[in-house]
Structures are given as C-alpha cells and as structure tokens.
Structure 1
Amino acid sequence: MTSSTPLKTTLRGALLALMLPLAVAPAALPQMAAAQGLFDPVVKVNGAAVTRYELEQRATLLKLLRAPADPIKLAREQLIEDRLKAEAAIANGVTVDETMIRAGMEQFASQGNLSVEQMVALLARGGVAEETFREFVRAGLIWREVTQTRFGPRVSVSEEDLERARAATSGAAGVRVLLSEIIIPFTPQNEAQVLAKARQISEITSTGAFSAQAQQFSATQTRDAGGRLPWQPITKLPPVLRPLVLGLAPGEVTDPLPLDGAVALFQMRDIQETQTPDPVYSAIEYAAYYIPGGRSPDALARAAQVDAITDTCDDLYAVAKGQPPSVLERGTKSPAEIPDDIAISLSRLDPGEVSYDVTRANGQTLVLLMMCGRSQSVAEAPGAGADGDAPDETAQLSQQIASRRLESFASGYLEQLRSEARIIEY
C-alpha cells in the first residue's frame, strides 16, 4: 500500500506485536458512537469530510500496530490522503470490489499468521471496528490500482538499470557508514512514554545532542560512548536498516524502529564511498545463551562473567553444561531470517565478540549473543542467467526496480493532488 507516510516496520512484526498491547488496551465503547460531536468533521478535503470518529479509530489502529510516529498525526495524514486517493480513483475510472477487499484483508492478516476473523476479533478487543480495518485495506488497494492504471505503462527497466542495481547489491560499489545508535527497552506499562520519547529523539539533528540522549536512555553497550559505532560497510548492516540508513543525510536520525520489547534509532554521522568492494554475506552463524532475570544487575553481571571467560562459540558449551538444552542455541541463518533486534546487535560484532542488550519473554530473559562467523556470498556460475544471475533473480531485481519507480511516480502524483486540493482543518 503506497503512501507518503508508510509504517516503517514489517507487517508480520506489527501483527505479532499486536497481541501484547491488546491485553492492556481499553475495550471499545459502543456508546461512544452516540457521543456528541463524534461524527463532526475534523478535516474536509475538497468537501469530503473526515469525522472525529474515523480519526480516533485510525489512530487506535495505528497505535495497536505500533506505528513509529504520533498516532493522531499519522492518522490525520493518512485519512487526508485516503480522500485524495478516492477522488483520484473516480477520476481514473478505478474501482475495487468486495472480493478484492476481502483478499486484501486476508493477505494483511496472514502476515501475522492470523485469519481475517482472528484479526478482526483482536482489533475489536483493542477498540477498533471491523469497518475501520476494512477501509484501511480498501484505501491501499484503491491507490495500488490507481498507480498501476496511471503509471504502469510508463515504467520500464533496461539492462543498464539492472547492471547498476547488480553493482550496488553485490558490493561492487563500496559504501561505509558512521552511525550512532540508541535502543530503549520498554514494558507494556511504559511503552507509550518510551515511544513518545523516541519520536522526540528522532527530530534531533545534532550529533552531540543525540549522544547525550544515548548516554541517558540507551540500553546498549555503546551507551557510554554516546551510542557511537565505528565505520562499517553498509552490507554488514541488517536488511531492515540499509534502506533507512541510506536515506539519511549526516546529522539526520531514522524514524523510531520498533523491535521486540524495545525501540531503536540511528543517526548518520558520516558516509563514504570506497574503492574496495564490500563483502556480501549470505549466512551468519551465531549463538544465543539465555540468562534469567532480564536486565537485572544479577543477569547483567552473569553476562559480563560469561563474556570474560569465553573467546569462541564453542566455549559456550562449557558454560551451558549441566543446564537445560534450551539455554543455549547455535545455528546459521541468512540475514533475512534473523529477527531485527538480534540482527542489529550482531552487526556490531566480529567473531568471538558478544553483546547482551536483547531480551526475550517480555524482558524477563537476557540474551547473550556471540558472533561465530559470517559466510560471504559465492558468485553464481557463468551461464546461470543474464550476466551470471539466475533468471528468477534477474526477474526479481527487475520487479524491485520497477516497484521503486512506480512508487516514485505515485508519491509525486499524491503530492500534486494534495497541492491542488482544498483542505480545511477544524
């Protein structure tokens, strides 16, 4: 669903995260629909009203999905855009039927391993009506159809485009970045306050101010250094971070990135192109040792002790001897398979190094991570496809380039619609 204000987190993570806040979210109050002024307009877009009820419902939905922005502000922006998109659909002769909407709802829910009925029931417990979810999906489908109808025929991908993309993704054009990080844990009780603080930090443009916030709030081992990380190639960062980081100018900070029980922010301090190609990693081997107690002093002291007596992943077997097998996990995964919080923590590590800023079990278990090793990608055999690419990989790359171009056209069109619209806010 293309939008100028996208949710910057995976839908799977958002939907899985939905279940915890619902346990403490206020129940919906049907009688609110009759409250005075609830159906009064808060915005009119070319005469089409957005009611207070719609605004509150969308904001509640975004909050349950842990949108990394102020829910009310984001809801207002999305609903204004929804009115513009609906108007554009009429102008371009685009419609979506009930079958398409139902399929869209199923696809959205399935990314959290839920059925539509389960998704609707969970949202209802959090105070969100089924119609709100349906309209959220419908707006995305309408805009997808509008952009395909209006701009699809204009999007093409040349072999030169593919070559540039191959060079960028293979590390042929080296890029390294100098980042600072802040990762703030939260509980269900203080989640709203932590996310509000994270939004404030995301507006910072001073490296000194960001480092001061890191020293005060960050839970990572880099906090004493003001969250400052050393130079690292962009290919060493987890997939979720690369597009966010490459979109920053020096001094800028990412939007808050929701993790499991925490929120992360990254500031760009500097970026450089290098002559040496960066390695591209196909697999990462790491070990996770689970320590009860979360971020308690005893658990952190135990993690520091384990760090002091181990040099390799093999050493962790002696540490875990006599304990249940579940306290130690070791395996090899592709970068895309690793959870975002673990991938971010691992990106700082060289083989044999550890970190212990990730938790599980709602913060009750501290996870000591050790990097065992990284495997670099092996070039495809000659003749596998165009310029060594397998045919399906070439098609996937072409689709990604086309999608980015289509999104760029769509964003420009939406901005044009907004600039020409008569928007009255009450």
Structure 2
Amino acid sequence: MTDERRMRMRMRLTPLLGMALALGLTVTDVAAQAATTSPFAPVILVNGLGVTGYEIEQRIRFMQLLRQPGDLRKEAEKSLTEDRIRVWAAKQAGITLEKDAVTQGMSEFAGRANLSTEQFVAELAKAGVDEPTFRDFVTAGLLWRELVKQRFAPRVQISDSDIDRAMLMESSRGGGTRVLISEVILPAPPGQEAEAHAAAEKISQLRSESAFAEAARQMSAASTRDNGGRLDWMPLDNLPPALRPILLSLKPGQASAPIDLNGAVAIFMMRGLDEHGPASTRPQTLGYATLALGPAGSEQGAQLLQKAASAKRCDDLYSVVKGLPVSLVTRPDPAPQGALPKDIALALAGLDIGETTILTRGAGQELLMLCSREAAVDEAKGETAPNRDAVRSRLQNERIGSYADNYLADLIANAVIVRP
C-alpha cells in the first residue's frame, strides 16, 4: 500500500465522524462497522487519528522481526496508540521535520543491524512488513524526539558535580564484593616505631569487636576513633590493591597483622563480608587534595577546619587558605591507588567525591579530600579515559527521557481513545 493510499484512508476519519453525527451513531459504532468492512479502516481512534487493523498486523510482524517478547497484539496496539499520540502532540506544537530527516532516521535504524536502508527494507519485506510501516515508525519517533528536545532540553542543566558522580565507580555500589571493617591507626613518629609496633601486635590479637572498638577509642589517631574505628560498607575495589587480599583472608571478628603506613601502623578487623560477585582487582585512579592543619589542637587548625566545613570540591580549599600561604594546600595529579602513599590510599577508600577526613601524620594533621575516583586506563589494551562530554550528553538524554516518559503518560491519560 502506498503512502498516498494510507494517507487517504486516515483522512477519511473526519467524514466518518460527520456521518456518525448525522445518523445518531457513536464513534465506536463507526469504528466497529468500518472494521468489519475493510482492514484499512480505523479500529482504534486516538485523538481523532485512526489505527487500522492492517497497521496492527504490520506492527506485529515488525515486532516479531525485532524479536520482541510478550503479547505482540497487545504491544502492537499499545505502541501504535502511543505513536498516534506522539504525532498528535508534535502537530499541536507545530513540530515539523527537516527535509530528508526521515530518510536519515531510517538509515540510522537500519545501521544498528549493520545493514543499509535498502537491505533492511528487503529483510522487512521477507517478513511481510512493507516499507511505509517502517517509515511511519521512524517518523513518529523523530517527531517525538524533536518535540521533547524543544520542550525539555532548556530545563536540563548538568553540573560538573553531576558528571563527577556519574563517573564515580561508587555508582555501582552493591555489585561485586563489599567489606565491613574497623580500623585502628597508631601514630609511629620517628624514634617511636618500635613502641607503635608493639602496641599494634597486642591489638591484632584481639578477637572481640567490642575490645577492638575500645582500643580504637583509646589509641587510634584516625577520625573514626569516636565511632570505635567502625567504617561503613565499602566496595573492595575502593581499597588499596595490596590491602584487598589481606582483608579477604580474615574471618569476621579476626584482626589483621600490623600494616606499616607513612608514619603510622594500621590494624583492621573484619566485621562482615558481602560477596555479591567475585573479588575484583580492577584498578582505580584517584585524585585528592590535602590541607595542612598544623599540630593537633592548634588554633590555626581549628580555624581552617571551620572554614573548610563548607568546602564541597577540592578547588574550594584554596579559598579556605585565603590570606595564608597557598602551599598549605597540595593537590597532586590523579594517580593509581597503588602509587599513592598507603595512609592516603586507605583513607580515600571510604570517601565519596567532595568528602573529607583528617589524617594524623607525625606531629601534624591534614585534612584530606577526595577530588575524583575513576577506573584506571590501560592504554596498552586500547582503553581510553572516560569522556566528560559524552557523560554530560548521556545524563542530558537520561533526564530528557525521564521528562518525556512523564509527559507521554500525561498525554495518554488525557487522550480520547475509542475502541470498538
């Protein structure tokens, strides 16, 4: 059936409605009577636009070719009804397509199957699907895409923070292996390493979570001391690679042997293991910044912490030291976990971007903030770094898509849909 013939059949809907009024019939009566006489007559009326029995059969065959599951007749009627609403809404908004837009859209769709438009249409024909069915399907989609773009794109603003969160490996929390651990970090300044190791050995022998928590409160220099050294669930990937096998070897309630850090000694106790998947060895690249606070309890350190409380990003730390030497802030280039100082890599494991913790390093303290966390790139394997522009575009499309879904639901709820 040609496009012209199909258009004529649809345009017959208005005279049919006039006839219905003249004879005192309902729209349903007209559709029902028409359906018994011709496969090209409307069997569903959507805001005055008809869906024919022929189109339903064609959409069913199209769905079969695309291997769509479910009740295909029901799905075909649903998708055609939605297409009519999309076309109707676009017409109401004055949306038109540029020349050759449909042809290009058909080519793009066929390209998903690695076929040219001609090859794809030939495959459709083998399944009994005519070319106008494919064209109508693409046209409705293009009109809707242009409508929602014009209607919702101006509302969508993607910030750098949104992109950071989307690129976070923590966005996949819940998959893979997670650990629930407690920590005790003992200072080991020069000349006091032996004493720190002796104390760490005693703590490593503890087999009670309560006793370990008490040791953390009494002796730990980590910011978790007030919470008994307890950390929240975290993906194993977030921890330094060298620490992962150590933790996986522990049973709940068992503490690790002392682990040397930069000017400190760490002991960990396993409290829980959540194995949603295999233990990962996936490397990460971390970016961070530090703010030197000076000796613990110093007045300058307290003032800096107060100012830093409002910092949401690493760049904000430079405002915190305004009027002071900018060297108080250090921000190394992002580096693989394994290349970071052990104490920093460990402290970053429990942080999301923009979060901070306090490190005790020797006689001084530092505020540590996580700037970025991304999958490490292995250029030898042809891997490339995440593209922020691509992530921004994906987030924009996702948000516009969410608006579009809600908009379509409203249009369907308010549409005049008549079935015989």
Q: Highest CA radius of gyration, 1 or 2?
A: 2
TM-score (norm 2): 0.46
